[in-house]
Amino acid sequence: MVETPSPQDRKALIAFIQSAQLVDAFGHLPKNQFMERPGDQARVAARVFEMRKQAGEISTGFRKAHPDVPWDDLEALGRTPDDLWRAAKKIAPAMLAELQPLVADEPESAFSIAEEPKRRARKK
């Protein structure tokens, strides 16, 4: 049984998702561009720090009820450029995929960034 978020968890999840979306946005850059831009790396590092803090505001019961969310990967993440790239390319997207649907009915989620489904190229 999947635990429904409490009102407190829902509030924390919205904040967490907003930070994760900003991290995820950097994963859309080419890797070499990200690796050459210390400013972008610093922005991701700051958001990862925020995500860790916000994850601590989500109840233990909720976190345990959602083992598919890579909570441990977030906590274990280092601060090297490769670690930050992994956060942007793998960890944040995985977390968003699991958590966004749980708060989709919240008014604040109207401002969430949703991935557009990829369209197939038409055959000519």
What sign for the dihedral angle of Cα 49, 53, 55, 56? positive
Asked whether residue 3 is assigned to any structural domain, the reply reads no
Determine which of 3-12, 30-39, 60-69, 78-87 has the lowest per-residue pLDDT on average: 3-12
CB 66 within 8 A of CB 5: no
Asked whether residue 74 is assigned to any structural domain, the reply reads yes
> Around Cβ 88, how many Cβ atoms within 10 Å?
27
d(CA 23, CA 17): 10
Task: Please give the DSSP secondary-structure letter assigned to residue 102.
Answer: G
Asked whether residue 62 is assigned to any structural domain, the reply reads yes
Range of the domain at 78: 14-104
Mean per-residue pLDDT for 35-52?
Answer: 96
Asked whether residue 117 is assigned to any structural domain, the reply reads no
Determine which of 10-19, 34-43, 109-118 has the lowest per-residue pLDDT on average: 109-118
**Proportion of the chain above pLDDT 70, given as a percent:** 82
Question: What's the number of domains the chain is made of?
Answer: 1
Q: What is the pTM of this model?
A: 0.81
Asked whether residue 25 is assigned to any structural domain, the reply reads yes
